[in-house]
Amino acid sequence: MPEIVDLARRQESSGGRQTKIVDVLVNAFSELMVADPDAFRNKFRKMAAGPFAFYRGSAPLFYADMEGEEDRWADDRATSRVWIQGDLHAENFGTYMAGDGVFVFDVNDFDEAYLGHFTWDIKRMVASVALLAWMKAISDANIAWLIETYVRAYLRQVHYFVDNNSDQAYSLRLETTDGEVRKMLQEARLNTRVDLLDKTTLIDEGFDRRFRRGHGVRDLDDAERARVQAAFEAYLETIPEAKRFRSLTYEVKDIVGRKGFGIGSAGLPAYNVLVEGPTQALENDVVLSMKQANVAAPSRIVHDERIERYFKHHGHRTAVSQQALQAHADPWLGYTEMDGVGFVVSELSPYVEDLDWAGLTEPEEMAPVLDYLGRATAKVHCVADEDSDPTIVDFQTEDEIVEAVSGNEEEFVKEMVDFGMGYSEVARDDHRLFVDAFRNDQIPGLSS
């Protein structure tokens, strides 16, 4: 069983594991907790709901456990400096419309993306698979089989890229998928921009659109609106020339303040910006999200000045990472800065659908989906290399990964299976310790 599992158990038995959980979370989130304690109280209550929710919200703890752990699959030059999604778990996959207008099923959510060991994405993912399956009362034997399905699909896809040299062109689309994943893509095609606009906006008396006001939406005073408007103008300069629309498209109609969405975005200031679409037809208006970027969890343990100097700020890091990992990213994707803090800007797209595991309850139903997730993980790792941006990754990722596991693929698969099952046990114990700490007011600056 992996060293980290034994270490965590020893720490827990001495009472140190709970202290480590609290210390890591406070160190990662203290500034945001002070700025918006209510948001973090809500975040922690969501994390308390179950082991998987806790795991989703505690990426910094995972990386604190990875720090210093021996990783024989990651060398100093290449496989330890691969673009990674950073918070890969079973719910961070879904559909989107690529920049070329094609519906794609892929990894999503790049808030934690950075450069690090390629195994970190795989390990974080397989532990989440084990947690998810455990919560569905699936046997250990079947959990091991599901993890193995994912890892073997990953390795097959990496080999495919070595043999075919087509990582930039490859994607999971309607014509290359079947089953549950193809069904998701088909359903995403039914979504419309008008439906999204109807939920978030209304037509005012002047026959133009503006945002609906309500829960989670706040108006800006003149000074704050001017700062956001200036940040938006700066963002426009970060859109690659090849992806820019006509100037009409970027006319601002309305701006409102929002709070960060989801477990991972608690406390992060955010704005929604309503802009003119490609025509003056109101059905073509576009809603953009401008969200303060967080500190990427892997960056806390990757101590590499070359990488740190490459990024202007975490907004830049998030946008550049997504462009590298997706290959055909949202044409609205960019970044900006406000009050010295980095923000990432992207479209609130009607075509984004997250993978929902609720209806997948049997191992035989889950396995084909995990096969696709393995392929998608390999694709984001292999597309983000010298073909994408040689200034930061100057090698072919697929070649380096194949070389790292060559002759030892069965050992690699077994190690990932053992890690996933072992670390999921740690996460279940961690969840209990976290809940006890939170409800007994042991998290400094935040009462339950």
Q: Give the residue with greater pLDDT, 297 vs 448.
A: 297
343 and 433 share a domain? no
> Do 304 and 373 share a domain, yes or no?
no
Mean pLDDT, the chain, rounded, equals 91
Q: How far apart are CA 297 and CA 43, in angstroms?
A: 17
CA dist 172 and 161 (Å) reads: 14
Residue 311 lies in a domain: yes
Percent with pLDDT over 90 in the chain = 76
Tell me if 184 is assigned to some domain.
Answer: no
Q: What is the pLDDT of residue 132?
A: 97
- Report residue 250 CA to chain centroid gap: 27
Per-residue pLDDT band for 1 (boundaries 50, 70, 90) equals very low
DSSP 8-state assignment for residue 250: G
CA 341 to chain centre: 20
Count of domains observed in the chain: 2
Edge-to-edge strands of the sheet including 341-347?
A: 217-218, 252-259, 269-275, 286-292, 341-347, 334-338
Which residue range forms the structural domain that includes residue 385? 3-178+362-439
314-341: pLDDT as tens digits: 999 999 999 999 877 788 999 999 999 9
Residue-level pLDDT at 366: 98
* 25 lies in the same domain as 74: yes
* 95-106: pLDDT as tens digits: 999 878 899 999
142 and 36 in one domain? yes
The answer to whether residue 11 is domain-embedded is yes
Sign of CA dihedral 248, 251, 253, 259: positive
> Are 147 and 57 part of one and the same domain?
yes
The model carries a pTM of 0.93
pLDDT in tens, 132-145: 999 999 999 999 99
Amino acid letter, residue 277: G
Residues 63 and 201 in one domain: no
Say which residues have a Cβ less than 8 Å from residue 400's Cβ, sequence separation at least 6. 75, 78, 79, 82
Confirm if 337 and 231 have CB atoms less than 8 A apart. yes
User: Looking at the structure, do residues 245 and 376 belong to the same domain, yes or no?
Assistant: no
Residues 144 and 43 in one domain: yes
Task: Confirm whether 353 is domain-assigned.
Answer: no
Alpha-carbon distance 324 to 312, whole Å? 16
pLDDT in tens, 256-307: 999 755 555 666 889 999 999 888 888 999 999 999 999 999 999 999 999 9
Last-in-domain residue among 314, 347, 380: 347
- What is the pLDDT, as a whole number, of residue 388? 64
Q: Are residues 285 and 399 in the same domain?
A: no
User: Is 448 a member of any domain?
Assistant: no
- Both 208 and 338 in one domain: the answer is yes
- Residues 221, 338, single domain; the answer is yes
| Domain annotation covers residue 355 | no
Report whether 104 contacts 181 (CB < 8 A): no
In a domain, residue 446? The reply is no
Residue 445 falls inside a structural domain: no
Q: Tell me, yes or no, whether 29 and 117 share the same domain.
A: yes
The pLDDT tens digits of the residues spanning 5-40 come to 565 554 556 479 999 999 999 999 988 888 888 888
